[in-house]
Amino acid sequence: MKKSLHRFGKFYSSVILNFIGIFIFVGIISVVFGDCGWMPNENIYAISQFAYSVVIPVLIAYAAGNQMRRDKRHGDSERLHAGGAIAVMAAAGMILADSECGILGAMILGPLSGMLWEYVLEPLVRNVKAGMEMLIHNLVAAFAGSVMAILAFYLVAPLLSAFADVLLLGMNYLIEHKLIWLLSILIEPAKVFFLNNSINHGMLLPLGVQQAEHLGESILFLLETNPGPGLGVLGALYIAKKEKRKEYAASMFVEFIGGIHEIYFPEVLSNLWLLLALICGGAAGNFCFLISHGAVTGAVSPGSILSILLVCSKSRILSVLLGVFVSAAVSALAALMILKIQNKNSVKKENGKETETISEKTTEKEMIAKIGFVCNAGVGSSAMGAALFRRKLREMNISGIEVEAYPADQIPDQLMLIVCQKDFQAAVPFEWKEDKIYTVESLLNQTEYEAIIEEIQRRGKEKA
């Protein structure tokens, strides 16, 4: 179950991360030129609305449709894949029928179109007569796209519209009765299982946009993007684990200023009791937003305090800041209580385990010339870990080693060693042998890289 949720969240995260800049663009245009913005301008504001309702759904549909390609890593890249094109045609029907549900529709129709092509249509036309491949493939794709567009217009759009209306009514009911803090019970655990982008951009954002059209702002933009709960848990770990304070300080900066929530997910996944702290922090923050009328005027992406303030009207800045810091404080206190209550002996035993060495893990003696740091999307902790490792190599005057960051589903075959956090090892494709994978507690802890450096130096001496 945990692995399936991880893969589901990873899929949509990898799709949406490519278009984060467009979400930020929509937010900036909305807060500056919207009806309640700093410099209202109807024409410029219309640009952001067109991008949100048409451009983003089309891009998500295309990317999700293409993402369903099998065997991406094993020489199958030349084969025509029309999943993205079919998804765009389906999205056209969806957008025309109900543009407000465009993003959610694209997140459903994109993968379905990709799977339709990959597993049904392409195998049927794979062995067409030589010279006719391109024509037949495109005719089949066009026919399939037409069917998908009609289904999207007459079936998917009405269903999603009704679903969105029910959700919006539920949200309004919770807001009116001051119960919106209950949503943290669902949102915070879902975030940790990498469903954060799916929840925010697929559900809360469309509902928030509908609410903002009537009120000029919405609290829904803050429910998932609030960095307070994650900041609080990292702060508690900073206080409780003195030996890793530098690492947690860096993680707190990335969470609060960078808005990359994925930075604290591995910590919570390794100690699921911390979910309670996240839920408490999220509930406290949401309740604070509610009673102090904290809200923002547009989409927040990524969940950075800077992004939040960028789309926050001047009259709401104090309310929003109060909600963020209250959620961080409550989350930190709850996490500290959990860490103290937990069995100290088991913690000591875990910390007392010997650190594995590369020599114990690997049997091959060739030089380690290409190392990959792997995480969920290849742009968060793995990118920072790779940068730290490259700096470590420079400090040790070691050259000739390529170090890059990769998402777990796009690891190139040429890698000689994979470095990932223990909680991510299950996400590494099964064809990678265990002796090629080196796990660490945190990709931001440079001391855990010493074993890799020592093995690189040892093999260099042996070769010399």
Q: Are residues 403 and 368 in the same domain?
A: yes
Catalytic: which of 280, 312, 375, 420? 375
Q: Are residues 188 and 309 in the same domain?
A: yes
For 261-297, write each residue's pLDDT tens digit. Answer: 767 876 787 788 899 999 999 999 999 999 999 999 8
Domain boundary among 353, 376, 411: 353
* pLDDT at residue 157 tops 70: yes
For 64-115, write each residue's pLDDT tens digit. Answer: 898 877 544 444 445 578 899 999 999 999 999 988 778 888 888 999 999 9
Q: Does the reported pTM lie above 0.85?
A: no
280 domain residue, yes or no: yes
pLDDT level of residue 442 (50, 70, 90 thresholds):
confident
Q: Are residues 190 and 326 in the same domain?
A: yes
Domain ranges, residue 439: 358-463
Q: Are residues 307 and 218 in the same domain?
A: yes
Confidence at residue 79, expressed as pLDDT on a 0 to 100 scale = 58
For 198-218, write each residue's pLDDT tens digit. Answer: 677 767 877 888 888 888 889
Q: Return d(Cα 3, Cα 323) in angstroms, integer.
A: 33
Q: Are residues 420 and 320 in the same domain?
A: no
Identify the CATH number of the domain in which residue 452 sits.
Answer: 3.40.50.2300
Q: Are residues 192 and 338 in the same domain?
A: yes
32 domain residue, yes or no: no
Q: Are residues 388 and 426 in the same domain?
A: yes
- Tell me whether residue 312 is one of the annotated catalytic residues: no
Q: Are residues 228 and 346 in the same domain?
A: yes
455 domain residue, yes or no: yes
Q: Are residues 262 and 401 in the same domain?
A: no
Helical (H) or strand (E) element with 375: strand 370-375
Q: Are residues 408 and 381 in the same domain?
A: yes
335 domain residue, yes or no: yes
Domain boundary among 353, 381, 408: 353
Confidence at residue 310, expressed as pLDDT on a 0 to 100 scale = 82
pLDDT level of residue 345 (50, 70, 90 thresholds):
very low
Q: Are residues 293 and 327 in the same domain?
A: yes
274 domain residue, yes or no: yes
Percent of the chain with pLDDT over 90: 24
228 domain residue, yes or no: yes
Q: Are residues 384 and 282 in the same domain?
A: no
Domain boundary among 321, 353, 385: 353
Number of domains in the chain: 2
Which of 119-123, 290-294, 448-452 is predicted with the least confidence, judged by mean pLDDT?
A: 448-452
52 domain residue, yes or no: no
For residues 110 and 369, which has the higher predicted lDDT (pLDDT)?
A: 110
pLDDT level of residue 10 (50, 70, 90 thresholds):
low
Confidence at residue 232, expressed as pLDDT on a 0 to 100 scale = 95
120 domain residue, yes or no: no
Confidence at residue 279, expressed as pLDDT on a 0 to 100 scale = 95
